Chains A and B, each alone.
Chain A
């Protein structure tokens, strides 16, 4: 039985930054929601372990790319929301160009239509 392989470990690590930044570019979000979104959008191919996301978020926060704020959620408890900083927006732009460059190179090799960067 053939099943599409899950993303390799180093690819998961490398793609976590552009994924988090892109999700937050759509608006503020919190850890659990980010993981759900990635699972949903990747069709289950990218499965982040929940514990791994938070070190990534905290690293991005210390690098000044995202910011956070404790806010009351609808359940009445406080939740830590993350949002993109202006540095983060710039970093996302660079990430996007780099990932698309890789994507286009592979697309040409595999004879798939490249996309505009």
Chain B
């Protein structure tokens, strides 16, 4: 009987071989599906899971047991996300806003690039403002590349956060951006009114708004960048929440 079970064991083991990497990968995907984490936090938590697994393995547990215990200890991605959102909502919003900025600047680059290039290459040189336009194109372009790299490497530069001394919150930042948009739209409407009665129908006003968007993207994007950098919420050193039962 004993000999027989020894003979069976290796086959059983082969059939149920546990794929640790696949387990970690599926945990990672579960984590990535949660909205509360920045890429950097996900990286940090994954490293923690791997450390915990290695710790259990050293104590003689097999891959499956180690993974099970480690992932129990780290916590369910959903609960973790709630904890992080509570403590770290500013960082999450910062990354979201960075992505929105990348999108906005990217859209501007795509829509203006062609016109600027044709102005520059104009053999008759009639467009005197071409170099200014090129500047307005290149600066956002470089910022776009920088921003994307920053987010991809999940290194939002820390020194920048020290400038954020103004008390601000993600909500405040969002309000500033909304005001910028509102002012632009109102500006578009009134400048359309000024031009003449012809711009009074909704279609013309819509066209004016599209024109004003060019103004928004070329003039307001530095404002957006500056707001993001300077209004980065900074936690006060003193804990704001006083203990309820002292």
Binding site for B on A (CB under 8 A): 10, 14, 30-33, 36, 49-52, 54-56, 58-59, 62-65, 67, 70, 73, 75, 77-80, 87, 91
B40-53 toward A: CB 8 Å interface, digit per residue (1/0)?
Answer: 11011101101110
B84 touches A54 (CB 8 A): yes
A91 to B236, CA, bound (A): 13
B41 touches A54 (CB 8 A): yes
A32 touches B48 (CB 8 A): yes
**Apart from the given pairs A32-B52, A75-B54, A79-B51, 12 other A-B contacts in the complex at a CB distance below 8 Å:** A30-B47, A50-B48, A51-B74, A51-B80, A54-B45, A54-B84, A55-B83, A59-B87, A62-B161, A63-B236, A79-B47, A80-B43
Contacts A31-B44, A63-B236, A80-B44; A50 near B50 (Cβ below 8 A): no
Residues of B near A52 (CB, < 8 A) are 83
For the complex, count residues of B whose C-beta is within 8 A of A: 33
Residues of B near A80 (CB, < 8 A) are 40, 43-44, 47
B11-54 toward A: CB 8 Å interface, digit per residue (1/0)?
Answer: 00000000000000000000000000000110111011011101
B79 touches A51 (CB 8 A): yes
Q: How many A-B residue pairs have CB under 8 A?
A: 72
Contacts A32-B51, A79-B47; A51 near B83 (Cβ below 8 A): yes
Residues of A near B44 (CB, < 8 A) are 31, 54, 80
A selection of 19 A-B contacts at a CB cut-off of 8 Å is A10-B243, A30-B47, A31-B48, A32-B52, A50-B74, A54-B44, A55-B83, A55-B87, A58-B87, A58-B91, A59-B235, A62-B90, A63-B237, A64-B237, A70-B155, A73-B47, A77-B50, A79-B51, A80-B40
Taking the closest CB of chain B, its distance from the CB of A20, in whole angstroms, is 14
Residues of B near A54 (CB, < 8 A) are 41, 44-45, 48, 84
B73 touches A62 (CB 8 A): no
**Chain B residue at minimal CB-CB distance from A64:** B237
B75 at the binding interface (Cβ < 8 Å): yes
A53 to B110, CA, bound (A): 43
Chain B CB within 10 A, most for which of A10, A14, A70 = A70
Contacts A55-B87, A77-B47; A50 near B73 (Cβ below 8 A): yes
Chain B CB within 10 A, most for which of A10, A49, A62, A87 = A62
**Chain B residue at minimal CB-CB distance from A32:** B51
A49 to B90, CA, bound (A): 23
Contacts A32-B52, A55-B88, A80-B44; A49 near B73 (Cβ below 8 A): yes
A10 to B87, CA, bound (A): 16
A87 touches B48 (CB 8 A): no
**Chain B residue at minimal CB-CB distance from A10:** B243
A59 to B155, CA, bound (A): 17
**Chain B residue at minimal CB-CB distance from A90:** B237
Taking the closest CB of chain A, its distance from the CB of B139, in whole angstroms, is 29
